[in-house]
A and B are shown apart, each in its own frame.
Chain A
Amino acid sequence: MISILLLILPLLVALLTLVGPKKSVGLFASILSFASLALALYAYWEFTTNGAGAFNFNLVWIKNPAINLNFTVDGIAILLIVMTNICMPFIHLSVNNRDLKQPRIYHFLISIIHFALLGVFLSNDLLLYYVFWELTIIPAYFMLLYWGGRNRKRITFKFFLYTVLGSLLMLVSIIYLYANYAKGGSIDSVSIFNMNVNVDAQNWIFIGFMMAFAVKLPLIPFHTWQANTYHMAPTQGTMILSGLLAKMALFSIVRWMMPGLPDATRYFAPYILVIAVLGVIYAGVIAIMQKDMKKLFAYASLAHISLMVAGLFSLNAAGIQGAFTQAFSHGFNTVALFICADIIQSRVGTTELSKLGGIRKIAPKFTTAFFIVMFATAAIPFSNSFIGELVTLYGVFQYSALWALIASLSLVLGAVFMLRMFRQAVLGPDNPNTAGFKDLGGSEQMSIYPFVILIFVFGLVYQPVFDLIDGTALNVINKVVQIPIP
Chain B
Amino acid sequence: MLIELIGLKKLIGPIAILGILAALFLNFIHWNDPAATFYNDMYQVNKATMVFTGIILMLAVFLVILGGDFYKEEKKYWSDYLAIYLFAVSGAVLMVGAHHLLMTFIGIEILSVSLYVLAGSNRMKLESNEAGMKYFLMGSFASGILLFGMVLMYGATGTLHYEKLNQVLFIDELVSKNVGFLHSGLIMILVGFFFKVSAAPFHFWSPDVYQGSPSIVTAFMATIAKIAAIASLYLVIAQVFPAMHHLYDILLILVSVSTICIGNILAIVQTNFKRMMAYSGISHAGFMLLGILAVDFNQWHVMAYYTLGYGLANIIGFGVAIPVFRSMKSENVHAFNGLFFKRPILAVALTIALLSMASIPPLAGFWGKYYILTAALSKDLLLIVLIAIVNTVLSVYFYFRIFVAMYGRKADNTPIDVSGGYKAFLILLVLLLVAISLMPDMISNCL
Contacts and interface: CB of A to CB of B under 8 A. Distances in A.
A65 B301 CA distance: 12
Given A131-B362, A161-B396, A168-B393, A145 B370 contact: no
A131 B360 CA distance: 9
Contacts of B355: 138
Given A130-B361, A131-B361, A145-B407, A65 B374 contact: yes
B374 A178 contact: yes
Tell me which of B340, B392, B408 has the highest count of chain A C-beta atoms within 10 A of its own C-beta: B408
A135 B439 contact: no
A145 B397 CA distance: 14
Interface residues of B, number: 31
A176 interface: yes
A153 B408 CA distance: 7
A168 B392 contact: yes
Contacts of A135: 361-362
Nearest to B301: A64
Tell me which of A62, A64, A65 has the highest count of chain B C-beta atoms within 10 A of its own C-beta: A64
A411 interface: no
Contacts of A168: 389, 392-393
A171 interface: yes
Interface in A164-210: 164-165, 168-169, 171-172, 175-176, 178-179
Interface string A124-148: 0000001100110010001001100
A153 B362 CA distance: 25
Contacts of A161: 393, 396-397
B368 interface: no
Contacts of B400: 157, 160
A63 B361 contact: no
A347 interface: no
A64 B361 contact: no
B330 interface: no
B374 A172 contact: no
Interface string B220-233: 00000000000000
Given A63-B441, A165-B393, A152 B408 contact: yes
Contacts of B371: 65
A336 B441 CA distance: 44
Nearest to B396: A164
A138 B440 contact: no
B386 interface: yes
Contacts of A145: 403-404, 407-408
Interface in B380-401: 382, 385-386, 389-390, 392-393, 396-397, 400
Tell me which of A135, A164, A165 has the highest count of chain B C-beta atoms within 10 A of its own C-beta: A164
Contacts of A176: 377, 382
Contacts of A172: 373, 385-386, 389
B404 A175 contact: no
A113 to B, nearest CB: 15
A135 B404 CA distance: 19
B378 interface: yes
Contacts of B396: 160-161, 164
A249 to B, nearest CB: 17
A140 to B, nearest CB: 13
B389 A62 contact: no
Contact of A179 (B377, B397, B441): B377
B374 A142 contact: no
Contact of B408 (A146, A164, A165, A169): A146
A207 to B, nearest CB: 11
A153 B386 contact: no
A64 B403 contact: no
A179 to B, nearest CB: 5
Contacts of A157: 397, 400, 404
Contacts of A146: 340, 407-408
A154 to B, nearest CB: 9
A335 to B, nearest CB: 25
Contacts of B340: 146
Interface string B16-43: 0000000000000000000000000000
B444 interface: yes
B138 to A, nearest CB: 35
Contact of B444 (A64, A138, A179): A64
Contact of A164 (B393, B403, B440): B393
A176 B380 CA distance: 10
A446 B386 CA distance: 49
B176 interface: no
A114 B348 CA distance: 20
Contacts of A64: 440-441, 444
Contacts of A160: 396, 400
Contacts of A152: 408
A142 B407 contact: yes
B361 A62 contact: no
B298 interface: no
B404 A62 contact: no
B445 to A, nearest CB: 7
B108 to A, nearest CB: 32
Contacts of B370: 65, 171, 175
B362 A175 contact: no
A220 to B, nearest CB: 21
Interface string B144-187: 00000000000000000000000000000000000000000000
A191 to B, nearest CB: 18
Interface string B404-416: 1001100000000
A175 B386 CA distance: 12
B407 A171 contact: no
A171 B396 CA distance: 16
B441 A62 contact: yes
A145 B366 CA distance: 23
A63 B386 CA distance: 26
Given A161-B397, A164-B393, A164-B396, A138 B404 contact: no
Contacts of A178: 374
Contacts of B390: 165
Contact of A169 (B389, B397, B407, B445): B389
A264 B209 CA distance: 51
Interface string A61-80: 01111000000000000000
A210 to B, nearest CB: 16
A172 B445 CA distance: 26
A294 to B, nearest CB: 20
Contacts of B360: 134, 138
Tell me which of B385, B390, B441 has the highest count of chain A C-beta atoms within 10 A of its own C-beta: B441
Contact of A134 (B361, B393, B440, B444): B361
B107 to A, nearest CB: 30
Interface in B338-377: 340, 355, 360-362, 366, 370-371, 373-374, 377
Tell me which of A62, A63, A160, A178 has the highest count of chain B C-beta atoms within 10 A of its own C-beta: A62
A172 B389 CA distance: 8
Tell me which of B340, B361, B386 has the highest count of chain A C-beta atoms within 10 A of its own C-beta: B361
Contacts of A164: 392-393, 396
- Top 8 closest pairs, chain A to chain B, by CB: A131-B361, A131-B362, A134-B361, A62-B441, A179-B377, A168-B389, A64-B441, A63-B441
8 contacts: A63-B445, A134-B361, A134-B366, A146-B340, A153-B408, A164-B396, A168-B389, A175-B373
Given A157-B397, A164-B393, 16 more contacts: A62-B440, A63-B444, A63-B445, A142-B403, A142-B407, A152-B408, A153-B408, A157-B400, A168-B392, A168-B393, A172-B373, A172-B389, A175-B373, A175-B374, A179-B374, A179-B377
Interface of B: 340, 355, 360-362, 366, 370-371, 373-374, 377-378, 382, 385-386, 389-390, 392-393, 396-397, 400, 403-404, 407-408, 439-441, 444-445
